[in-house]
């Protein structure tokens, strides 16, 4: 497939003005934002692209092809923080951006680019942003998926959606993976990475401890990956799985990226780590309950999309962060033995591909 012809016709190589993207800052959304970067680079190959990022997401920028730099700046969610906005605007003004893509619909996201005087500020109509956005886009609510809404802003105004968007990419040098394994005392064999966390408890599959035990009994190395919020879950999983299970949760997202890059297969809820693993090219199993795979699965595709099929649940998908009916059966109906069997099959298929 020729992505260039599908997206924006002939690329414009004459424009060299830098572009700033103001993305959504949740980890999974930030990873999917790399599609926006790729669309921009296909449209304008010689325009540098920078990303505004929080300290949490900043490590991801290092692994994103086509991104010049991440502008690390933490704006508080619950208040305006005028001083922080003014200081950010000063920094952006010094960088002489020609275009800013403001992906969130909030007015706070558009303040600093406007104060910086960035000539072209593109975003959808929303939250009284008149004067802050000067290149309005309409029709956001008619776009089917989150990625469609974001990537459409990188297209010419009114351009039709392509049949496929470029997929997000994260690239980790092989030597970085070797050093990470050595630093953590890990062998060179294939391991199963488990990502039990998510934003919203309803998206968390119930049986990770049992799955870890079954995988370890089959002689597989098991890693539990996540942030500090998953430390309690990791300890529960390690206790159930025994010595073959390692707790690799921590404060640095870079550690999660390297773990997913090193793993032979990743098993994850609908979460940021699922999108990281898929963008890295690691065979990834996504476990879905209250959310729709069509709307939220990675563009990269999944080695397996795991959804309960034991009964018809009228509430599924509910998109809710807390289960309000049916005792979380959209997740409880997915057995640990089924997930383990799929993980073994995915590992076997990946091994077969590597030897051909």
Average pLDDT over residues 226-248: 95
Domains parsed from the chain with CATH numbers: 3-152 (3.40.50.2000), 174-354 (3.40.50.2000)
The confidence score (pLDDT) of residue 5 equals 41
**pLDDT classification of 4: cutoffs 50, 70, 90:** very low
Burial class of 64 by CB neighbour count within 10 A (0 to 12, 13 to 18, 19+)? buried
Average pLDDT over residues 138-142: 89
Predicted model pTM: 0.93
The confidence score (pLDDT) of residue 7 equals 56
Of residues 7 and 48, more confidently modeled = 48
CA 212 to CA 233: how far, in whole Å?
12
User: Is beta strand 284-288 parallel, antiparallel or unpaired with respect to 304-307?
Assistant: parallel
Instruction: Kindly report, residue by residue over 49-59, the tens digit of the pLDDT.
Output: 999 999 999 99
Q: Which two tokens stand for residue 272?
A: 């940021």
The confidence score (pLDDT) of residue 86 equals 96
Does the structure show a pLDDT above 90 at 307? yes
Average pLDDT over residues 107-124: 95
Instruction: Kindly report, residue by residue over 162-198, the tens digit of the pLDDT.
Output: 999 999 999 999 999 999 999 999 988 889 999 999 9
The confidence score (pLDDT) of residue 58 equals 97
Buried b (16+ CB within 10 A) or exposed e, 320-355: eeebeeeebbbbbbbebeebbebbbebbeeeeeeee
Q: What is the mean pLDDT of the chain?
A: 92
The angle subtended at Cα 50 by Cα 160 and Cα 68, nearest 5°, is: 115
């Amino acid at each position: 497939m020729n992505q260039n012809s599908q997206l924006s016709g002939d690329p414009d190589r004459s424009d060299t003005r830098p572009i700033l993207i103001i993305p959504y800052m949740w980890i999974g959304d930030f990873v999917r934002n790399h599609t926006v970067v790729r669309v921009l680079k296909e449209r304008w190959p010689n325009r540098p692209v920078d990303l505004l990022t929080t300290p949490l997401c900043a490590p991801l920028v290092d692994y994103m092809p086509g991104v010049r730099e991440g502008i690390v700046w933490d704006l508080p969610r619950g208040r305006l923080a005028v001083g922080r906005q003014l200081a950010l605007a000063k920094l952006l003004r010094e960088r002489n951006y020609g275009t800013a893509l403001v992906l969130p619909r909030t007015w706070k996201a558009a303040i600093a680019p406007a104060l910086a005087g960035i000539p072209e500020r593109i975003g959808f109509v929303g939250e009284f942003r008149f004067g802050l956005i000067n290149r309005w886009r309409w029709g956001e609510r008619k776009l089917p998926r989150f990625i469609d809404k974001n990537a459409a802003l990188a297209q010419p105004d009114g351009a039709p959606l392509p049949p496929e968007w470029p997929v997000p990419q994260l690239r980790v040098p092989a030597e970085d993976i070797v050093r990470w394994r050595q630093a953590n005392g890990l062998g060179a064999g294939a391991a199963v990475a488990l990502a039990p966390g998510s934003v919203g408890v309803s998206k968390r599959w119930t049986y990770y401890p049992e799955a870890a035990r079954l995988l370890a009994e089959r002689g597989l190395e098991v890693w539990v990956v996540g942030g500090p919020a998953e430390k309690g879950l990791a300890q529960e999983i390690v206790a159930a799985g025994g010595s073959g299970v390692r707790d690799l949760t921590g404060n640095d997202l870079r550690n999660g990226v390297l773990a997913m890059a090193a793993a032979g297969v990743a098993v994850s809820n609908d979460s940021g780590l699922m999108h990281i693993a898929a963008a890295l090219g690691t065979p990834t199993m996504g476990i879905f309950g209250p959310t729709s795979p069509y709307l939220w699965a990675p563009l990269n595709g999944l080695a397996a999309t795991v959804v309960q099929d034991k009964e018809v649940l009228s509430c599924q998908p509910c998109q809710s962060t807390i289960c309000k009916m049916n005792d979380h059966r959209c997740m409880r109906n997915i057995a640990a033995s089924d997930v383990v069997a799929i993980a073994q099959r995915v590992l076997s298929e990946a091994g077969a591909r590597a030897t051909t």
